């Protein structure tokens, strides 16, 4: 059956070609049809690039701030090394005390990140003063006075940590006296 239909269409093809639409009709059809919109890749790619830059910048800033907050509040070792036995003994003694106090304060600072940041800033400021004092000592500027100032710097650090402990830690005397009332 198909073969007969094909044969009929081929034999009468000239008769079918007589009924073509006019050019005017094709113009109206094209006018009614919506023109195909081209995708503006540059527009979308620029938007994607801006979003990627914003997300990347946010992630980098977040990582920097969390790393900064996770740093332990330990005094930095002074950059200048001087071979004075008295100074070496004082550094060992006071560094040990500082580390003890830092370990005592650390649990209380876990719940107070603002205080931790403030403490780190104060300790780093005192450390930078200590480094400048050590540089002065290296330059041989009034050795005894500089040594006393360096020891005073250590004492200030320890005092700062003790004040922080007093502020953050509950009074042991108050706790002992309160629990003693109920032991009767």
Number of domains observed in the structure of the chain: 1
Range of the domain at 91: 73-171
**Any domain includes 77:** yes
Look-up: residue for tokens 């907050």? 69
End-to-end CA distance of the chain: 116
| Region 152-164 average pLDDT | 87
State pLDDT tens for residues 113-152.
Answer: 788 888 888 888 888 888 888 877 777 655 778 778 888 8
| Residue 50 lies inside a defined structural domain of this protein | no
pTM greater than 0.85: no
Q: What is the pLDDT of residues 43-61, one digit of tens each?
A: 888 999 999 999 999 999 8
Tell me, what's the pLDDT at 172? Answer: 47
Question: In this structure, is the dihedral angle defined by the CA atoms of residues 166, 169, 170 and 171, taken in order, positive or negative?
Answer: negative
**Domain presence at residue 27:** no
Residue 82 lies in a domain: yes
CA 96, CA 119: separation in Å to the nearest integer? Answer: 18
Q: Is residue 157 part of a domain?
A: yes
Asked, for residue 155, whether it belongs to a domain, the answer is yes
Asked if the structure places residue 184 within a domain, the reply is no
């Amino acid at each position: 059956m198909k073969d007969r239909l094909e044969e009929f269409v081929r034999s009468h093809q000239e008769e079918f070609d007589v009924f073509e639409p006019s050019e005017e009709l094709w113009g109206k059809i094209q006018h009614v049809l919506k023109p195909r919109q081209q995708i503006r890749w540059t527009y979308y790619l620029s938007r994607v690039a801006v979003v990627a830059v914003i997300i990347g910048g946010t992630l980098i800033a977040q990582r920097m701030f969390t790393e900064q907050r996770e740093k332990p509040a330990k005094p930095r070792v002074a950059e200048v090394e001087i071979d004075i036995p008295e100074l070496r003994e004082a550094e060992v003694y006071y560094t040990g005390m500082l580390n003890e106090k830092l370990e005592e304060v650390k649990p209380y600072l876990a719940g107070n990140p603002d205080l931790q940041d403030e403490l780190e800033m104060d300790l780093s400021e005192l450390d930078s003063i200590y480094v400048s004092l050590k540089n002065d000592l290296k330059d041989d500027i009034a050795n005894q006075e500089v040594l006393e100032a360096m020891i005073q710097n250590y004492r200030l650090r320890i005092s700062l940590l003790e004040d922080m402990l007093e502020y953050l830690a509950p009074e042991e005397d108050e706790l002992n006296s309160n629990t003693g009332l109920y032991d009767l």
